[in-house]
A and B are shown apart, each in its own frame.
Chain A
Amino acid sequence: MSVTPTNTITYREAMREAIREALLADERVFLMGEDVGAYGGCFGVSKGLLEEFGPDRIRDTPLSESAFVGAGIGAAMGGMHPIVEVMTVNFCLLALDQIMNNAATITHMSGGQFAIPVVIRMTTGAGRQVAAQHSHSLEGWLAHIPGLKLLAPATLADARGMLGPALEDPNPVLIFEHGSLYNLEGELPVDGGAVEIEHAAIRRPGTDVTLVAYGGTLPTAMTAADELAAAGIDAEVIDLRVLRPLDDAAVIASVSRTHRAVIVDEAWRSGSLAAEVSARIMEQAFYELDAPVARVCSAEVPMPYPRHLEQAALPQPGTVVAEVHRMMGAVDDG
């Protein structure tokens, strides 16, 4: 049996390697954002890149989200393949005009004349006690918008492999990096490279229930699946990976096998991606279901600071397990 050589690597390092490889491979690629250079990135992703690539390609920006996100869009229209880093999804609201009214619309509004090959990366999610202006998961809002593509790498392979194809895509691609994943550590093949960016993935095959997760909730769903296995319930875990356009087929195929679905989403329940996935299951696989689709989302409060309240607000493996038991019990009782 041949053994693929691997490296021990963190999610943060995998992202950095992906950026580095993109910079080396294509002169049109550059990175800009707040503190990506001298500081090394707010979350340390771009540490060392300024020294290696210089200030033209690793550009520290003023705190002007609208200007530098829009400049990324304009530079993409001018033939570059920019990587724009926005510190957190909460800050991207300051650039929403550019993302919505320019990045998402110009290709269509111009009758298909202009490609916009920009990648906008941002941190998302809670779990670090940074309260109500740095913790939210607003991917669902952005997933509402036609013209954008949204990726949520939840594994080391995706952290390493999604950026390259995202930069090659002629459309604006938003990449959401969950803050709790940066220290995730594991083995990656030394030659690990590009992954496809169109499909969801089965992270754990199972037969009794489908847990649908993405980004920061993938570890939650995997832990829940382990606990369920101990109780004799075989859960399948689907990692959405691509939040727009959604890979309906993968979800529907899984639910058609397991006949039950729980969606685990760190966003608020109302108007969420979880709502969208749930609706699509209803529309496309209603008669496959043995129980109503369930959702485990964040409590509908601005994220509180104290750890116990933050944890209470977030989807927890135990909540997912309880939801599955309730669902299975409901069927058994029926």
Chain B
Amino acid sequence: MQKQAVVPPPGAGTRLATQACSHGTEHWTIGQAAGLRLSASSWRFADASKSHFAGEAKVIDMLGYYLQLAVRSLRRNPVLTTLMIIAVGVGIGASMTMLTNLRVMTGDPIPDKSSQLFVPQIDVWGPGSRRTGGAANTDRLPDTLTYRDAIAFMRARRGVHQTAIYGMGLDIDAGSGRPFAAAGLAAYADFFPLFEVPFASGGPWSASDDESRANVVVLSAKLAERVFPHADAVGKTVNLEGHEYRIVGVMKPWSPVPRFYDTNGTGAAFGNTEDFFVPFTNAIDRQHESWGGIGCPGRAPAGWAGLLTSECVWLQFWVELPTAAAVRNYQDFLSSYAAEQRRSGRFDWAARTQLHDVPDWLVQEDVVPEQARVNTFIGFALLVVCLINAIGLMMAKFGSRAGELGVRRAMGGSRRDIFLQCLVETALIGLAGGLLGLGLTAIGLAVDRALLAQGERNVALDVLTRLDTGMLAITLAVAMAATLCAGLYPSWRASRVQPAWQLKVQ
């Protein structure tokens, strides 16, 4: 068959090429012998190979040679090359913009501790409680605790650290300028070690401050800068709703994303942290209203005292349980607590209890908006369409080079050589497309940021739209992998080129 006549046995090809290329004139002869009219480009290809094949053909040399060939081939057809790079780049840009958002949203807000922090739940309303319409959440326990349960859990001290929290808004008067309203959190001293809150100056208040319901406050970096610019705020006082509070600590900027620790409707899941923190006991004493949701089984009883004794749930509770044994112990504690409450006549049902760690809690609270997943999915669909385009373009490109590839086959290049050559070209496109994609991702994120900033909702913007090194690596890897996958079929097809047919046609 013709094919066999042209293709030399394995090994012979390289030798033949080596001979041919070390003597430029001989090469010309071979070309003539094969009945070829060598185009200028093929001539260059033979010429370029000279130095590389002078000695022993090493793998690394081969790759370098392929790269050189690839660059040359890509430059020969700038329109197709540009289109391919744009196709890959646009797809990568769109999908990675969406993925960056989703990756941050689904990220672990406190990686080294997320499996050690738990939210307890207890079924204080019972199976007989009135439900609002819809059967969706009938099995779900209340997300927050009543005041009496939160206090009971605090007193029990069964975890390494534990804290009840609730969000609130107070007016702040720092002595100079207009008073203003700010968001704050009522918490126990344990809050700070439990969530590993970093301090710039000072530190948390003490457990005895919790006990004595002291007027102490921890400020966020932002608020400290606002009320005491260019000075250490620790030791100074601020006026919170008419009472002087001593500043014991100033936090470093701290904004876990998602803002997982309080999902009770105070501030967005992707919003900033509170501006100030006061002892829970102090806030209760001062009757600071909760900004979060308060759920009551019936009509709420009158007044603040009524709220504290009622079965209304409104307090978020966290406990740190470092070992599996501690978790089991805590589960036992919860069950026995529920049983005891039943014995005392508070419940006439066996109240279920549950413990959720951070990832579990984020899922239960639907913290990641479904829309973010949908957007990511759409971004990747766009990438697929772009890759389909790239496949088409590659087929066009390799197809238009069938003649040249035929010559290479005729001169002894194996199918594997052609295949690898095409893949190297594809990889180059993938790399260039990935770089373009990175640029487009940066632009996409900038647009995203502009969109979000419009909302004036204090989203932790820089975090949500940050292109970190991990994302950088993912982007380039996805671009290369996707383009190489897309290039497999066109390269394979190119390597099946029939040299005899190509030569004859020319």
Please indicate whether A and B come from the same complex rather than being unrelated chains. Answer: no
Interface residues of chain B, those whose CB is within 8 Å of chain A, are: none
Interface residues of chain A, those whose CB is within 8 Å of chain B, are: none
